Amino acid sequence: MSKIDQLSRKELRHAIKRADLDILEDAIVFLEDDPRTFGSGYAKELIWKYIKRYNLSTEQVARLENAAIQYLFRPMSREFKYMCQTMAWIASDSFWDTVQPYLDSDNPRAQVNSYCLYRYSGGLIAGEKLRLQLDAIKYAVRWYVIRSQPDQIQVHPPITVEELLIRVEHESNWYNGKVIYREVRSDNPSIYYDFAKLDKEFACLDVEASNKNQLLKTFDLVLSTGFKIEQYYVTWLYTIYLLGQIKEVRAVEILKRFLKGKIEFEYGSYRNHLEMLVLKTLRKYGTSEAMEVVRRYKKRELIYSDYYGNKKGSWAYSYPAIDN
């Protein structure tokens, strides 16, 4: 077991602040492994904040640079700021040369994260100046920021469940512009009490008979939109339900991106429920690609199976029993 895991928060804080050499290697390995367990964010924050107090070797700096690069491809976490500040102090020119190409990346997350990180190549003051400017913008529009013009900011509200239904029923998603309906099946959504009146409307949609190419684009857009998980929670649940009903293996790739980009680094009951239903839908498809993801989440899936496996209910609140 790593020394980082054995220390209490107070012990870790004191050890890393006084540059205790006994935990340096474990601290670097901890950042490289990037565990996502309870309390790991706090530990990573402390390490990134104070590791520059050590007399780091060239090899150790290179390892930290590799760990920092991984932050370009994931949602910003609590330690992102301290990682950027530390890179401003210790990073080599080759590190900034590696970050720079991602400023024009096709991946929006990599583009934004690299934009925030790269400003620190000009020094700590330059990086902090940009961070404070972006914080002011983020606060003003409550995270829903879309830049359409350099001097214009537009607010993009959450996609509601009602709006999702309107988008799905749009004529472009159906052959001849006509929505196809079916009889309600036993695996109806029954997702949320306040939206029970919409359960039947979603369950009646015969998405298997839709223009799948177009409808999958709609689902991908909905699952890739949004920042605050609790404000998109129910809309995402209905979207995952429909992805399971469409019976198209390309849905697996959409679910994988959603799991990695929106859910993997979150915590709490919202995350657990969304993750459970994504795994359940992937297991339903059963392709090698889908089952590879399921196997990676085996331990968490067993928890869902134990808790929900003996319950009888709707699609959203039941889970198949899984063998250990």
Select from 130, 155, 180 the last residue of a domain. 155
Is residue 152 over pLDDT 50?
A: no
| 281 pLDDT more than 60 | yes
Q: Which helix (H) or strand (E) holds 274?
A: helix 269-285
Shared domain check, 134 and 237: no
pLDDT-derived band at 47 (thresholds 50, 70, 90) equals very high
Of 110, 134, 155, the residue at which a domain comes to its end is 155
| Nearest by Cα to 32 from 44, 46, 18, 16 | 44
pLDDT at 73: 87
End-to-end CA distance of the chain: 24
In degrees, rounded to 5, the angle at the alpha carbon of residue 102 between the alpha carbons of residues 97 and 107 is: 165
pLDDT in tens, 80-93: 999 999 999 999 99
Averaged pLDDT for residues 245-261: 91
Same domain, 28 and 134: yes
In a domain, 207, yes or no: yes
Q: Give the tens place of pLDDT for each residue, 168-180.
A: 999 899 998 899 9
Backbone angles phi, psi at 91, to 5 degrees: -70, 145
Is there a single domain that holds both residue 110 and residue 242? no
Q: Is the pLDDT of residue 98 over 90?
A: yes
User: In this structure, is residue 322 part of a structural domain?
Assistant: no
Model pLDDT, residue 145: 42
Q: In one letter, which amino acid is 156?
A: H
Whether 249 and 114 map to the same domain: the answer is no
Residues 151 and 59 in one domain: yes
In a shared domain, residues 132 and 239: no
> Domain span at residue 30?
3-155
| Residue 138: pLDDT over 50 | yes
Tell the residue number behind the tokens 């399971």, with chain if given: 244
Domain count, the chain: 2
Specify whether 128 is located in the same domain as 232. Answer: no
Predicted local distance difference test score (pLDDT) of residue 319: 67
Q: Note whether residue 284 is domain-resident.
A: yes
Same domain, 313 and 176: yes
Q: What is the pLDDT of residue 139?
A: 52
Do 132 and 171 have their domain in common?
no
- Return the pLDDT at 299: 78
Judgement on whether residues 201 and 266 belong to the same structural domain of the protein: yes
Residue 301 lies in a domain: yes
pLDDT class of 297 with cuts at 50, 70, 90:
confident
Do 170 and 245 have their domain in common? yes
Same domain (yes/no): 103, 20: yes
Last residue of one domain, picked from the residues 155, 182, 204? 155
32-41: long-range contacts (C-beta < 8 A, 24 or more apart)?
Answer: 32/63, 32/66, 32/67, 34/67, 34/70, 36/264, 36/265, 38/267, 39/9, 41/77, 41/78, 41/79
Is 305 part of any domain? yes
Report yes or no on 324 lying in a domain. no
